[in-house]
Amino acid sequence: LDEAFHGTLVAATGHRQMARCHQEVTERIRLLRRLDFTETGRITATYQEHAQILRAILRRSADRAINLLSKHIETSKNEVRKISLHKLYSARPHT
């Protein structure tokens, strides 16, 4: 559903080349993006962020939608980084 949300936003621009690029990037980062859905708090936060973005779009508040989308992507990227590092550290043998 997360991929569909982002894909639908890109498709709504009507820019086919951008949609193709987005799909290629999505396929490359799919595994990493899914890490963001391993934490219950992040699942809830992600859907709340999506709802805020969608409300801004429906209100035709482009600047707010862009700001919220940028924050959403940055937050998700940072959370995935933390989750990845934690999983790597946890998998490492400790002496």
- Give me the pLDDT at residue 95, please: 63
- pLDDT tens-place string over residues 56-89: 999 999 999 999 999 999 998 898 888 888 878 8
> 35 falls in which pLDDT band (50, 70, 90)?
confident
DSSP-derived secondary structure for the chain: -HHHHHHHHHHTTT-HHHHHHHHHHHHHHHHHHHHTTSSHHHHHHHHHHHHHHHHHHHTT-HHHHHHHHHHHHHHHHHHHHHHHHHHHHHHS---
Q: pTM for the full model?
A: 0.77
- pLDDT tens-place string over residues 37-48: 888 888 899 999
